Amino acid sequence: MKFKIITRKSNTFSTVNYILKLAVPGSTRSTIPQFSGTSNFQFAKLVDKKFEDFRASNQDRLYFHKIIGFHPSDSNKSDAELMDIAEEALKISMPGKRHFVMSVERNTAHPHVHICVALRSIETKKVHRDFVDYIKIGVELEIKHGLYNADRDTKPHPAAPAPGTMKIEARTGSKPLKNYMKESIAYSFEKAKKTSEFLELLKQSNIKLLPNLNSAGVSGLSFEKDGEVFKGSQLNYPIKKIKDKFGGDPLFTTLMQLTAEENQRLLEEQDLIGLGQKSSILRKYSNRTIDKHFLSSDEKNYYFKNTNKIAFVYDSEKNEAKLKTSNFKTIKAAAQKILETGTAVTTLPNSSDDFKKQTWLVCTLNNFPMSDFYKPSPFDLQQAIKMTKDENLKLRLERELKELEVKKTVKPESKKTKFRVDMLL
């Protein structure tokens, strides 16, 4: 058995009308009689009036909409039996006599009972505000009625999204980056049998492993994607868990050291460079990302505010910024610094494609002038369209995307070989 409880302040009519929508004869029960010839609509109006008339003067929340779900293997129970169990659960969780309407729905594999129940007791006139251990009630009733025993001790899968994350996914139609990384790392971790396979699978998902090394070996790790860095523990894959599986691999420490060296090499190529030179700074800059989120005492070393972590190092002579991390905020701040005197932003030719893409995206979304250092793919353009709030920019990007898709669909004309036939007469 599973319980879902929704607290309502008013509008009992809508809830009752909803739970009776799929009801069939014999699948409903109520403390308020529904006489023959009374439609569900009229009955819902009557229940709404009864609940409202019995509301206490200082009562805010009026009723619960409870949903009690059963396992598919309990489908053999009749509607009356399911309602008996639901009513028993109701009496245990909310002692005393109170008005309710319930119905059984079987429109999914899991039969479930909807209950609309008043919070105020008819007998004591008290409003229900007590904490209820529904898990305990569920266990007791499962044993008593021979129901499927739900395994409540099983921990969720490490990649399982939180309920709030699932709501975001449903609203936006896309996975948040952190949740995407969780799923990708979980897949790589479960699929790989040795360290090299784990690193290769992460690479295929464009996730970079960032090991922390000391004299004793690997002391910790983080994961990076699209410039966003998360500690292993934030993604349910701390160093202990990684070591438990791959620590016995004789190449584990060596591969981690090589990965750290490669990360450092890429970091050294992670520079933003200013092109051209403005004749003068025309206005006083303010309210910028670099001003709000970064601090520098020498206009050379820029730190994240309230930390001792350096974000980028700025060279005023070269108008160049060496970034220590490639997240959106750091790239934007470095670009703002460069554009104080430079006319456009560019990257080193040997910078990674990921860094070029990230820089292109930041500059595009902020309308920063930049050189032609990166050719965006249709996916890159779609990502920028989704992220921007600038309608004019969105239209321009949509035109670029359409042009790019047209170019891909137009096939170059194949050169036809001309044959000459000589006829001898």
Query: What SS3 state is found at 341?
Result: coil
Q: Which of 85, 101, 81, 102 is nearest to 93 (CA)?
A: 85
Q: What does the pLDDT read at residue 152?
A: 56
Q: What pairing do the DSSP bridges indicate for beta strands 320-323 and 271-275?
A: antiparallel
Q: What does the pLDDT read at residue 8?
A: 84
Q: What does the pLDDT read at residue 208?
A: 86
The residue count of the chain comes to 425
Distances (CA, A) of 38 to 22, 41, 104, 270: 16, 8, 20, 73
Element (DSSP H or E) covering residue 217? strand 217-225
What is the distance of C-alpha 222 from the center of its chain?
Answer: 19
Distances (CA, A) of 225 to 338, 354, 358, 378, 390: 25, 9, 10, 19, 25
Supply the Cα-derived Rg of the chain in whole angstroms: 32
Q: What does the pLDDT read at residue 349?
A: 80
Distance CA 87, CA 168 (A): 34
Strands (E), 287-401: 294-295, 301-304, 310-315, 320-323, 344-347
Q: What does the pLDDT read at residue 310?
A: 86
Q: Which residues of 200-215 are buried (b: 16+ CB within 10 A; e: fewer)?
A: ebbeebebbbbbebee
Q: What does the pLDDT read at residue 116?
A: 96
Q: What does the pLDDT read at residue 347?
A: 86
This prediction has a pTM of 0.40
Residue 83: other Cβ atoms inside 10 A: 22
Quick one: tokens of 183? 């799923």
Q: Measured on CA atoms in the order 281, 283, 284, 285, is the torsion positive or negative?
A: negative
Q: What is the mean pLDDT of each run of 10 residues along the chain (425 residues)?
A: 87 91 89 90 94 90 93 92 96 94 92 95 91 90 87 54 58 68 89 91 88 82 80 87 90 87 67 62 60 85 85 87 85 88 82 87 90 88 88 89 78 48 38
Query: What SS3 state is found at 152?
Result: coil
Quick one: tokens of 180? 């995407």
Q: Which of 97, 117, 81 is nearest to 3 (CA)?
A: 117
Q: What does the pLDDT read at residue 282?
A: 41
Quick one: tokens of 70? 């059963």
What is the distance of C-alpha 284 from the center of its chain?
Answer: 38
Q: What does the pLDDT read at residue 218?
A: 86
Q: What does the pLDDT read at residue 422?
A: 42
Distance CA 117, CA 102 (A): 8
The structural domains of the chain, ordered by start, are: 2-145 (3.30.930), 163-263 (no CATH), 271-375 (no CATH)
Q: What does the pLDDT read at residue 298?
A: 82
Quick one: tokens of 327? 């997240």
